[in-house]
Amino acid sequence: MTDFMPEGYEEPRTSSSGNWFKLNDKTKDPETKRVRIMGSFNHPQTAIMGWEAWVEDTDEETGQVREIPIRKENTTDNYDELQEADREGKPSHFWAIQIYNYEVNEPQIWGISQRTIQRQIRAMADNPNWGDPIQYVIEVTRTGLGLQTKYTLMGEPNIAPPSDDIIKAMEEAKIDCREMFARDGKGNNPFGALAGEADGMPF
C-alpha cells in the first residue's frame, strides 16, 4: 500500500457510461444487478419500442466513418426501411425503458434488444402474482459472454410502490425516451429532455 492515491478513491462514472444500464463486465461471471422498472409503454416518454439497425455514418466534425444505431417506431414500413439499411439486413426489435439502478442509485435507460429479456419481463407483468413491474425490484443476472450469454430475471417478493426518494430522482432526471427517435432515428440525448409532462407518469 502506498500513499500515491487518496484513500477511498474510486474512478468516476462518466455520463455516457452512467446513464445506460449494462451488464457487460467481463471480469464478473455471473454478473447480477438489481433494478426497478420505472416506465410504461402507455407513457411513451418513459418507455418506447421499435426497430433498431446499425449503419455506417460519417462524423460531421472528424470525418471518420463509424457505425451508429438508427431507431424507428414499431411499424412494418419502418422495419422494411431499416432492413435495407442494416449492416446484416436484420433490424432488432428493441425496447428502451427508464429504470432505477440500485447498484449506482441512479435513474437510467435500459435498452433491451434480447427477446429472452423482453419475454421474461412481459411474463412477470402478465402474472397476477407480480403485475406492474414498477411495484417490485427485479434481479437481472448475466452468465457467459458472446454467443454463450444468457440472461435470467427474478422478481423480489416485496411488492410495494417505489420510495419517495426514487420517484424524486426519476422526476429530476427528466428522461424522455421519445428523443431516441429524433433526427430521423439518430436520436437526441433523452436525459434532461422532458419538459412540462410530469403529470401522467406511471409512478
Containing domain of residue 32, as a range?
17-51+97-185
Exposed/middle/buried for residue 189 (C-beta within 10 Å: 0-12, 13-18, 19+): middle
* 147: in domain: yes
Cell, residue 41: 409503454
The answer to whether residue 69 is domain-embedded is: no
Q: Is 144 within a domain?
A: yes
The pLDDT value recorded for residue 15 is 42
Per the structure, the count of domains in the chain is: 1
- Please state the pTM of the whole predicted model: 0.87
Q: Characterize the bridge pairing of strands 65-73 and 47-58.
A: antiparallel
Give the pLDDT score at 7.
Answer: 74
- Domain membership flag for residue 56: no
Q: What is the pLDDT along the chain (203 residues), one digit of tens a residue?
A: 566 666 776 655 444 446 999 999 999 999 999 999 999 999 999 999 999 999 999 888 888 999 999 999 999 999 999 999 999 999 999 999 999 999 999 999 999 999 999 999 999 999 999 999 999 999 999 999 988 999 999 999 989 999 999 999 999 999 999 999 999 999 999 999 998 765 567 77
Number of H helices, E strands in the chain: 4, 7
**Structural domain contains residue 78:** no
> 59: Cβ–Cβ under 8 A, 6 or more apart, which residues?
65, 66
